[in-house]
Chains A and B, each alone.
Chain A
Amino acid sequence: MKNIIYIFIALIFFSCQEEVVLELKESGQIPVIEGVWTNSAGLNQVHVSYSRDYYSEEPNKVINDAEVFILNLNNGQRISFQFNEQLLSYLPANNRTGRLGEIYELHVIIEDKEYIAQGTMLEPPTLDSLTFEYKEERVFREEGYYLTLYGKIPFVEQNNYRMKIVRNDTLLNRRSDYLLFDDTFGTSILDRGFELGGFPFNEGDRVRLELYRLNDDAYQYMSQLVNLLFNDGGLFSPPPQNPVSNIKPADGSGQVLGYFMVSPFVSANVNIIEDDSD
């Protein structure tokens, strides 16, 4: 709706834009924790850093001396993480992974202050096939190859999904590339074929779709993050707020940013090559 409004304003009111420099207040450094824990090796990592001033062009200050571990609350098992200098993230020892149905608790200790978050590794939906079809240009759609994903969502609750699209080994990560969906419009979306309408591909592209089933709090975080990316601070936007983190300080005081996502991982791949046999 908001985009429509701005199309309208641009069409009619010849709105103008320019870059300005506003004097902004500053906050101290706030820890930022980004934890991803799946049942797939290679995806699991915890990134820990500090926030910085708004206009700073430096990268986030990475914290490399935190203590990071994940507890399996079902069996008490502790999975330690080690800092990796190349990735600037903490990786699980022995490349360990999560298991479906288990409840995990992330612990990050930064300068004696502990931060905790929990999540359950839920069952993933079934992905059957990924097809593509060439479509001509029309309004709201560029010409190109469009993907349709088939599968099944057999769950009656905790239907919170995020889909990531990787094209030729590059994750699509513009704000418009976020694909989040829940069961507001039902769960038969994969049965009928979920066309990825906003993503045209070219012949020769290698595409991987990754599907994650998130816990409610992590899904809410992602939804709020996307809303914030589209929030223009104008009259038609709600007052901007930080996405509500599912990570909490263990002692209940202080602030922390980021999220802990516990999710199963399923994916589907396709190479867009036109079959010329006929």
Chain B
Amino acid sequence: MKAIFLMRFLLILIFTVPLFTLINPNLSKAQESSFVVGQVFEVATNNPLPGANVYWESQPQKGVVTDLEGNFSLQKVDLPSKLIVSYIGFEESIRVINQKDLSKPLRFFLQESQMALEEVIIRDRRPDENVKSMDMGKSVVAIETIKNIPALFGEVDLLRSLQLLPGVQTAGEGTTGLFVRGGSADQNLIQIDGAPVYNPSHFFGFFSVFNPDALSGVEFYKGNIPSNFGGRISSVIDISLKEGNYEKVRGEGGIGTISSRLTVDGPLFSENSSFVISGRRTYADMFLRLSSDPEINSNDLYFYDLSGKFTFKLGEKDKLSVSSYYGSDFLGLSSQFGLGWNNWVTSITWNRNISERLFFDLNAYHSAYQYNVNFDDPDNGFKWGNRLSESGVKAEWNFNVSENTLINWGVHSQLYNFAPISLDPAPGSAIEPIATNPRNGMQNNVFIGAATDVTDRFRVDAGLRWAIFQLHGRGVDYIYEGGIPSPDVAITDSLVFSSFQKIKGFNGFEPRLSFRYLIQDDLSIKASYNRNFQYLQVASSSSAGLPIDRWILAGTYVPPIRGDQVSVGMFKNLEGNKWEVSGELYYKDIKNIIDLRQGANILFTDNVESEILTGDGYAYGLELLLRKNTGKTTGWLSYTYSRTWRQIDGISFDQWYNPRFDRPHDLTLVLNHEFNKRWSAGLTFVYTTGQAVTFPVGTYEVDNQRLPLYSGLRNDDRFPDYHRMDASVTWKNVDKGRKWKGSWNFSIYNLYGRKNPFAYQFTEIFNDQINFTPSQTNIVESRRPGVVMTYLFTFLPSVTYNFNF
């Protein structure tokens, strides 16, 4: 009954808001009136400045914010009048606007404020955005903020920084997987310049693939995901690669404990084109070579990232950018065994300002991920690999109907190609080759969204996304006896499909709706509802992602995941936007999540569906955030209480259970303090409830082995609480006008050396030695049951030299 009411309510809103906009006489009048349009730039780089505030001196409450291209459009007042353009950390620009100025677009150039040197700026948004924007469960994280957070090995890491935000959990010590509001790691859409990244991690998840120097910003949606994004149910992490400056060649980089990086940017052919090229590489393998032990010095272990972005201004109204990212990992053991994986993401974007109020963006992309495993052995050698790719085109229009009403709409087509898993034995090998069948799919999405002020205080944002997904050939679908796949039932037939022949189709409407009511200028309440469908996911039962994880598409036996989220929140700013306080409550309902049967082996099978169990889940939580944005000391304190539950027939006696990342209490403190122009420091403290895990309740002996006995309830136990403090100090050379500017960063991960468990192994301990392995020469003298804890990273110092020129 509730669901019917909710749906009806949503439909009314979705279809009446645009209508209301059109028939509202005031708004119609606004459309007829003139606007002042223009663009704001940063004077030092000539780059557009997004997020700058533009308002009339006489009406400071009715300002607008520049878009990503620095554009603004503000309703005219009686002229002449003073127009003010401001941006935190920059000198204010005030210009008297006359009637004649309206005939052409205005251009404002803001200069970095001298005062800004005294402040640490931790965000790129307007001061009152916390209260007045429609955003719920959204974080805009400035790259500078991320760079100021103490980092593991000194490696500034985007995804690890996002884990410090409320509502985001980690799988475990050191890993970069994100578990957002009860969702799994594969339920996050992580994209660079509009192109998805399928494996965003290096070194088995301990580092993310994003070189911070190459990025311009990150928008993280965990609650109200706008209708122009879709395809994952839990979050969107929208990352933009940095655009090169148009003035002169500049560079920045760093030499760190485990890697070095360099980024160079500047004009390309003229002042209308720019480039940025960025690279990073680890050198762990170089340290390995220093070892005298041939078993160590013959190993390879590295990752690297390369990215580039080329931007061309094709006139006043058009801009074209081409960006590409390539990242690769390799682990080689004595040139006999090799495991490598890589992402290659390429994106082309065309931005066009069709008119003063209508903007068009066209984005085409291709993202490919592959892994390869080679084992060079004359008897049992093999080459094993897999590749998956997504290609897509997205066209989006944004129309500023009036000062307070925005409409956007667009289409998005996606083509998935999951190549067969292939395993080719070496010549003479005793094993036979394996090749599964490919899986292909197409997804077409249409979306529309509209936001308007219903009253001065009440604003509504409604959106609708319609996704049509089709699993198609080339491929094979299997028919199982009784119609339900299982390892225990026979396959009665297999159907072969030719290219683009439909195997199975789904479609679903995904409504998005949010409200904001401004109680006072610095106090608002917001609410949102969001539905998302997800047509692909990782089939895995472990908590951390692996390079060889198998992605599967929705199909005959695997329905798409459906996620519904409702959230409400209260947002308050204090002391002139110096402090932000917010509290958000959310409830998320998830249908058709999967897990694996016990003992499932999905790496080489063509019948993944017979190894999968399907069920439902839900999550809820309260997220509290106190944030200080300006002054010498900045940062945030957040507390989250959240729970996550799943129910999948065949697991935990079919009862509800907590996934490993259900960690009810989560407290995070992030502090940055600038002592003076030379010295600054960062401090991070994290406390969370321990991971939900399964411990034994007894033991028994079978087949000459002593086995731990489990109750059958999944994750009914807990690791001890997790807590850790990290600290860093940065020393900058005083700017004496030299071109080369350097700084040193000293950081310590796990300052007080807390032994947070990474794993507990329930095992027999021989001769009272935890690493004793019995053999013909290692004679067993005693054996007893024991628990061995593995922990990582106690008091890990690192140093990084950063520079720019």
Contact = CB atoms under 8 A, between A and B. Distances in A.
A23 to B, nearest CB: 9
Best-buried of B434, B703, B705 by chain A (most CB within 10 Å): B703
A32 B700 contact: yes
Interface in B281-305: 284, 288, 295-296, 298-299, 301
B694 interface: yes
Interface stretch (A46-54, A109-117, A123-131, A268-276): A46-54
Given A15-B792, A239-B714, A257 B702 contact: yes
Interface string A21-48: 1101111001010100000000000000
B201 to A, nearest CB: 12
Nearest to A50: B700
Contact of B301 (A8, A51, A55): A8
Given A19-B765, A195-B379, A54 B542 contact: no
Interface in B741-769: 755, 758-762, 765
Nearest to A205: B776
Nearest to A190: B430
Contacts of A87: none
Given A8-B331, A235-B542, A27 B299 contact: no
Chain A residues touching B, majority SS: loop
B322 to A, nearest CB: 35
B102 interface: no
B47 interface: no
B171 interface: yes
Contact of B599 (A24, A220, A233, A234): A220
Interface residues of B, number: 88
A56 interface: yes
Contacts of B432: 185-186, 188
B695 A25 contact: yes
B576 interface: no
Nearest to B659: A239
Given A27-B697, A257-B702, A235 B790 contact: no
B776 to A, nearest CB: 8
Contacts of B296: 11
Contacts of A234: 172, 758-759, 790
B695 A24 contact: yes
B174 interface: yes
B380 interface: yes
B770 A30 contact: no
Interface stretch (A63-71, A90-98, A99-107, A224-232): A224-232
Contacts of B699: 51-54, 56
B710 A240 contact: yes
A173 B788 CA distance: 21
A173 B771 CA distance: 17
B237 interface: no
A8 B792 CA distance: 13
A20 to B, nearest CB: 5
Given A30-B698, A52-B699, A240-B694, A22 B760 contact: yes
Chain B residues touching A, majority SS: loop
B694 A189 contact: no
A73 interface: no
Interface string B79-116: 00000000000000000000000000000000000000
A188 B433 CA distance: 11
Nearest to B600: A238
B789 A20 contact: yes
Contacts of B693: 233, 239
Contact of B701 (A7, A32, A53, A243): A32
B33 interface: no
A264 interface: no
Given A4-B331, A34-B703, A139-B336, A232 B792 contact: no
A139 B700 contact: no
B527 to A, nearest CB: 36
A34 B792 contact: no
A239 B715 contact: yes
B700 A30 contact: yes
Best-buried of B172, B284, B298, B789 by chain A (most CB within 10 Å): B789
A19 B596 contact: no
A17 B770 contact: yes
Nearest to B768: A19
19 contacts: A4-B333, A11-B299, A13-B793, A15-B791, A16-B790, A19-B787, A25-B697, A30-B709, A49-B701, A51-B698, A53-B699, A173-B704, A184-B434, A184-B604, A232-B759, A235-B759, A237-B542, A239-B693, A240-B710
Given A25-B717, A60-B700, A185-B432, 5 more contacts: A26-B697, A51-B700, A54-B697, A185-B423, A233-B762
> What are the 6 A-B residue pairs with the smallest beta carbon separation, nearest first?
A186-B432, A234-B759, A235-B544, A185-B431, A51-B700, A238-B541
Interface of A: 1, 4-5, 7-9, 11-13, 15-22, 24-27, 30, 32, 34, 49-57, 59-60, 138-140, 171, 173-175, 184-186, 188-189, 192-195, 197, 216, 220, 222-225, 227-229, 232-244, 255, 257-259
